[in-house]
Structure 1
Amino acid sequence: MIEVNQLTKRYGEVTAVNGLTFTVRPGCVTGFLGPNGAGKSTTMRMILGLNRPTSGTATIGGRLFARHRTGLRHAGALLDAGDVHGGRSAAAHLSALAHSNGLPRRRVGEVLREVGLEGVARRRVSGFSLGMRQRLGIAAALLGDPPVLLFDEPVNGLDPEGVRWVRGLFRRLAGEGRTVLVSSHLMSEMEHTADRLVVIGQGELIADESLAEFAARGTGASVTVRAADPAELATVLSQAGARVRQGDDGALIVTGMSAARIGELAFERRILLRELAPRTASLEQAFMELTADRADYRAPALAGDAR
């Protein structure tokens, strides 16, 4: 488990992370989202003890990561795929990590096979593509078979097959009961990969909830309802605080109320429902709306861009 409690990091007058508190639990994939400059990488580095917080704490398994004597047995991380000596081979790089953490030599071959790099184990990393370097970084994270794993933008440079593979890998790791935290700016990846989301902006927490709960925050979230007496149902729902409009096909489009609550109200008034279909907003739409005032860098809108 990863526990972040009132974590703050300042660089002079700039506050990169401000009073951040959240918990990443085992058994699910947690997506870590935020606009550029939100403080995601800084937070991950503090979790791993690479940056010292100004105040607050970040622990892995209830302890500061720096206090774990053999770090790779407790947590594995991919933060920067380019942070590897180009003159070393993939096998030599992993062997050095294994030796420094007291890990058996056989783990090098095992993780290289797992990430698909067994055939290039003796090649120098300087000749690797970005996607191959990402796979090597994932191999390093898996080397100690740790219960906690952190990945920063892990799909950068991967081809479609690699993206599909890494999604499956994260799902499997979470299914084994591990704690998996994945930082990404790709909303489509989070929709396919994450179970929960931690969303930050300008170093502060915006959301810590399930994927479905976050998407439901978007203004595009609605419920389509068809009823035997739509006029009566519209009145009932409006009186209960929902916003109701009639669609072009006669169905009621309801916002501001869950499908479950609509069903309860219809049952209480004995109104027959013929359709009750939630329509969630896209994750991207919810993200853009909730982080609109937290983005440090924004280009001017293009002419004709309706978004």
Structure 2
Amino acid sequence: MGRVIEANELTKRYGATTAVDRLTFTVRPGHVTGFLGPNGAGKSTTLRVILGLNDPSSGTVTVDGQPFRGRPRGLRHVGALLDAHDVHGGRSARSHLSALAHSNGLPRRRVDEVLEEVGLTTAARRRIGGFSLGMKQRLGIAAALLGDPPVLLFDEPLNGLDPEGVLWVRGLFHRLAAEGRTVLVSSHLMREVEHTAQQLIVIGRGELIAAESLAEFAAHGTRLTVTVRTPEVARLTSVLTKEGAAVRGEADGSCTVTGMGADRIGELAFHSRVLLHELAPRSASLEEAFMGLTADSVEYSAGDAR
């Protein structure tokens, strides 16, 4: 059922700012793909170009082999949640979805079906302006599902959801992917998608950093580090760096050592008569792997070039 999204050397510039820089990736059906990067990395810009809301400066992006822009009754082909706040606050949830259904040639029954699916049936006649952010997110997801499309794009869909809502969304995404749809979920937080996505596309400063499975990405987090506490930080640092280790002081007074195991650190400290209060090896988390790979991009800010 799903269709492939393909970007080839996709670039988008706004004046002197390059928001998306020669991105090449493929999003395939049958699993959830996480689209990750710090704020300002170019994620939202990429989604808007996929949807034809912005033209690329160069390169191409296609859905099922052709640009999405210009397709009649677009909600039958691609459903998207880009901004939960981008709705008319004076309308009711049902009237908002009914207008979308009418403009896309969809049967009216789909309105009630998707309202029930996202848990908004009892709020169907309420004005959207009185909705919480979590309710607006659910309404946005309902709009994306309205045309029963094979391709679905979600930008920061977990914002404002309570824990129950987060679990519901994760389950929904898994089900949609299991049905053979192409599901792309954008976020700036690794922990938001690590329990949802099977594939990852990671960008920073508009450039591709990684395009691989979650398991492959997790391998970046297997770097072993050792936490050390000692009253003789300077002496230990000198001893360890001479042997090729890297030592970083932490705010709590401890040191983080990379490039050397705990056993070897203990041996060198013993022979150098350096007193140790703690020696604790640990593996970096998936979140730390993500932060490490995107560290150079976090400070990037060029307007609102998300």
Determine if the TM-score, normalized by the shorter chain, exceeds 0.5. Answer: yes
TM-score range, shorter chain: 0.7 to 0.9
What is the match of residue 92 of structure 2? 89
Give the equivalent residue in structure 2 for 1:212.
215
Q: Deviations over 1:227-276 (max 9, x none)?
A: xxxxxxxxxxxxxxxx884659xxxxxxxxxxxxxxxxxxxxxxxxxxxx
2:194 matches 1:180: no
Mean CA deviation greater in 281-290 or 88-97: 281-290
Aligned counterpart for 1:292 among listed residues 295, 299, 305: 295
TM-superposed deviation, 1:58: 1.1
| Correspondent of 1:19 among 18, 22, 27 | 22
TM-score between the two structures when normalised by the length of structure 1: 0.78
Q: Who is 2:162 aligned against?
A: 159
> Alignment partner for residue 133 of structure 1, among 136, 140, 152?
136
Q: Work out which of the residue numbers 196, 199, 203 in structure 1 matches 2:202.
A: 199
Residue type of the partner of 2:128? V
1:3 aligns to 2:11 (yes or no): no
SS at match of 1:188: helix
Distance in 2, matches of 1:220 and 1:58, equals 35
Q: Which amino acid aligns with 2:149?
A: P
Distance 1:288 1:186 in 2: 9
% of aligned pairs identical? 75
Q: 1:61 deviation in Å?
A: 1.2
Matched residues in 2 for 1:167 and 1:91: separation?
24
Cα deviation, 1:147-172, whole Å, max 9, x if unaligned, reads: 00000000000011000000000000
**Partners in 2 of 1:281 and 1:67 — Cα distance?**
46
CA shift at 1:85, angstroms?
Answer: 0.3
In the alignment, which residue of structure 1 is the partner of 2:50?
A: 47
Give yes or no for contact 1:215–1:280 (8 Å, CA) kept in 2.
Answer: no
Unpaired segments ≥5 residues, structure 2: 226-258, 265-281, 302-306
Change beyond 3 A, Cα 1:290–1:42: same
Distance 1:27 1:247, change over 3 A: farther
Whole-Å separation in 2 of the counterparts to 1:61 and 1:191: 27
Would the alpha carbon gap of residues 12 and 297 (structure 1) be closer, same or farther in structure 2, given more than 3 Å must change? Answer: closer
Deviation >6 Å, runs of 4+: none
Query: Could you tell me which amino acid in structure 2 is paired with residue 10 of structure 1?
Result: R
- Please state if 1:170 is matched with 2:187: no
Compute the displacement of 1:186 (Å).
2.2
Aligned partners of 1:216 and 1:280 also within 8 Å: no
Q: SS of 2:220's equivalent?
A: coil
Residue 125 (structure 1) shift: 0.3
The answer to whether the 8 A contact 1:216-1:281 is kept is no
Q: Structure 1 residue 114 and structure 2 residue 117: aligned?
A: yes
Distance 1:297 1:28 in 2: 30
Where does residue 104 of structure 1 map in the other structure? 107
Residue in structure 1 matching 2:59, options 47, 56, 79 = 56
TM-score by length of 2: 0.78
Residue by residue over 1:3-35, the C-alpha shift from the partner in whole angstroms, topping out at 9 and shown as x without a partner, is 111110111111111100100000000000011
Structure 1: segments with no counterpart, 5+ residues = 223-242, 249-278, 299-307
Deviations 1:99-132 (A, max 9, x none): 0000000000000000000001011100100000
Opposite residue 182 of structure 1, the aligned amino acid is: V
State the alpha-carbon separation in 1 of the partners of residues 140 and 54 from structure 2.
Answer: 20
Q: Are the equivalent residues in 2 in contact too, given 1:198–1:208 (CA < 8 A)?
A: yes
Alignment-mate amino acid for residue 110 of structure 1 = E
